[in-house]
Amino acid sequence: MRKDEERRAAQVEIDAIVALSLGVTADELCMIYRTQFPVMRRYDQEDRFDANGREVPKDVMKLQAKLRDGEELSVADRTWVHPQSGVEYVFEYPFRQLDREADMRKAYARFGDDSLRAERRLRCNEKSEEKGPSIVETPTH
């Protein structure tokens, strides 16, 4: 997972899986996020991701905030050099705000559906084992 958006999605999926395993509902998971993680929630409201899934740096977002609706930053203004690596990045429009609660609900539903299907398969397997091996008659020639 090289991109910020991919790492964030993995965190959301882990939260949903843990909630399911603990019997926490999707509504309760979202309530926990809202009430117990205000700093993370504030970051989620401030952070923007570009078309390539990279988190847009605060410096670029400050420039973006000065523009009027419909205006876009130049490529030069969207270019940022990572301070440690010296790698240059150009952040591509559109800049998007992600919705952690909506993403948690989607992950919860997806993994919940997967776990229900797995549980049904397990029950079917247990029932077929209780019946014993099936006997298949082969025709004699």
Dist. CA 32–CA 10, nearest whole Å: 18
Structural domain boundaries, residue 119:
1-47+97-124
Query: In terms of pTM, does the model score above 0.75?
Result: yes
- For the segment 128-139, what is each residue's pLDDT rounded down to a tens digit? 666 665 555 555
**What is the distance, to the nearest Å, from the Cα of residue 134 to the centroid of all Cα atoms in its chain?**
44
Residue 137 lies in a domain: no
Residue 119 lies in a domain: yes
What pLDDT is recorded for position 3? 96
- For the segment 42-82, what is each residue's pLDDT rounded down to a tens digit? 999 999 999 999 999 999 999 999 999 999 999 999 999 99
What pLDDT is recorded for position 119? 66
User: How confident is the prediction for the chain on average, in pLDDT?
Assistant: 90
**How many structural domains comprise the chain?**
2
Q: Are residues 89 and 107 in the same domain?
A: no
Residue 37 is which amino acid?
F
Q: Are residues 40 and 58 in the same domain?
A: no
